[in-house]
Chain A
């Protein structure tokens, strides 16, 4: 089994490696998920001017710091891809672990932020705004956790210089998660 691989990892029916095509299909479905959440939030936000009072309680600096963290983790992810392109699996693996570290910092900050907000009485049931806030940020955080798990697995194989194409695939997913946050940040933290 060691020298044979599933056909799906090697054929290229659409002139694009099947693994990468599969990642893009996942992202297309994710666009519908996050697009639905963001579109419905924006509609309700525009229809309820009073939500601005609730949004004023979110901390823009925490959101900005987490944006910085995710942008930096995306840099590590694309540098990991670059290392994989050069066949340097160990470096790619190291950079993937740094990306995972970025995700861990993001989630740690988020957990402190949520704890503080819940202590101040802002829960998912407080109002329409907070329902969207926790739902959108929560679904996003779940994707960060999923990305970290996948990346740890890919880093393990990359360290052995195996399956280096996966470094790019998991990176594409991570950049998408970064893009979602790029839109969540102004919607939840800046528009007040």
Chain B
């Protein structure tokens, strides 16, 4: 392994020059959001469940990324890396979703799912295999 002396990076321990944050307060907010995400779906309303469970998951993830991972003061290269990874995820979704979620269409053949869920689709989607 090649070793050498090299100039130190400027921040102490190579860390961020971190602004003051009240981490306990942020943790308390996260716990409050957790309570809402658990109690919201108990109402049994689909829209409320979507907002309280999945909407709040996004908010919680944002708070952790911003305050605990310090993404808000991270260098732009990291933001670009993350955007690229998320774009790949969306690309995966866009490429695979039609095969997984669509049960009918022109030149469409999906026998197991079509048989199990919607037999009527066979008559619509059997345009030519």
Q: Which positions in A face B, CB cutoff 8 Å?
A: 1, 4-7, 9-12, 14-17, 19-21, 24-25, 27-29, 31-32, 35-36, 39-40, 43-44, 46-48, 60, 64, 67-68, 71-72, 74-75, 77-79, 81-82, 84-85, 87, 164-165, 167-168, 171-172, 175-176, 178-179, 182-183, 185-186, 190-192
Contacts and interface: CB of A to CB of B under 8 A. Distances in A.
Contact of B12 (A85, A172, A185, A192): A85
A43 B93 contact: yes
**Interface band, chain B:** 35 or more
Contact of A21 (B15, B77, B113): B77
Interface of B: 1-9, 11-16, 18, 23-24, 27, 30-31, 34, 37-38, 41, 49, 53-54, 57, 60-61, 64-65, 67-69, 74-75, 77-78, 81-82, 84-86, 88-89, 92-93, 96-97, 100-101, 103, 113, 117
Contacts of B7: 10-11
B93 A39 contact: yes
Given A5-B6, A17-B14, A71-B31, 8 more contacts: A4-B3, A24-B82, A67-B34, A75-B24, A165-B14, A168-B15, A171-B68, A179-B61
